[in-house]
Amino acid sequence: MSTKLFVGNLSFNVTKDQLQDMFAPHGVVSEVDVIMDKFSGRPRGFAFVSMETKEGAEAAIKAVNGTTVDGRALTVNEARPREERAPRSGGGGGGYGGGRGGERGGGRDRY
């Protein structure tokens, strides 16, 4: 079973190929996923690298964590499972609730 690693504090110039080359000496890399901003299309400064074995992942953490790439010290550790988030409502939140208009104008007492 593969082990997923979190790689943080990445330069925005780092590519998938660079990460592949950086981690490959420590074990077989099964996947590299550089996280991109969905609006700008630019990298967000972190990535996930999946190593084929736990031993390879541990070796990569020891070797790559703290190394400097493009003037930035990398943070490498085992990725934690993604936390579940409450679904977003379509309402946008805030405001005075659902009642707009009416006798008192937006639900606020004006007496």
What pLDDT, in 10s, does the model give residues 32-46?
999 999 999 999 999
Q: Bridge-partner residues for 31, per DSSP? A: 50
The band of 56, judged by pLDDT with boundaries at 50, 70 and 90, is very high
What domains sit in the chain, N to C, each tagged with a CATH number? 3-78 (3.30.70.330)
- Which pTM does this prediction carry? 0.74
What is the per-residue pLDDT for 2?
Answer: 92
CA–CA separation, 45 vs 9, rounded Å? 6
Residues 6+ away with beta carbon under 8 Å from 36: 42, 43, 44
- With a cut of 70, say whether residue 106 has pLDDT above it: no
Question: What is the structure's pLDDT at 65?
Answer: 98
pLDDT in tens, 6-18: 999 999 999 999 9
The whole-chain average pLDDT of the chain stands at 87
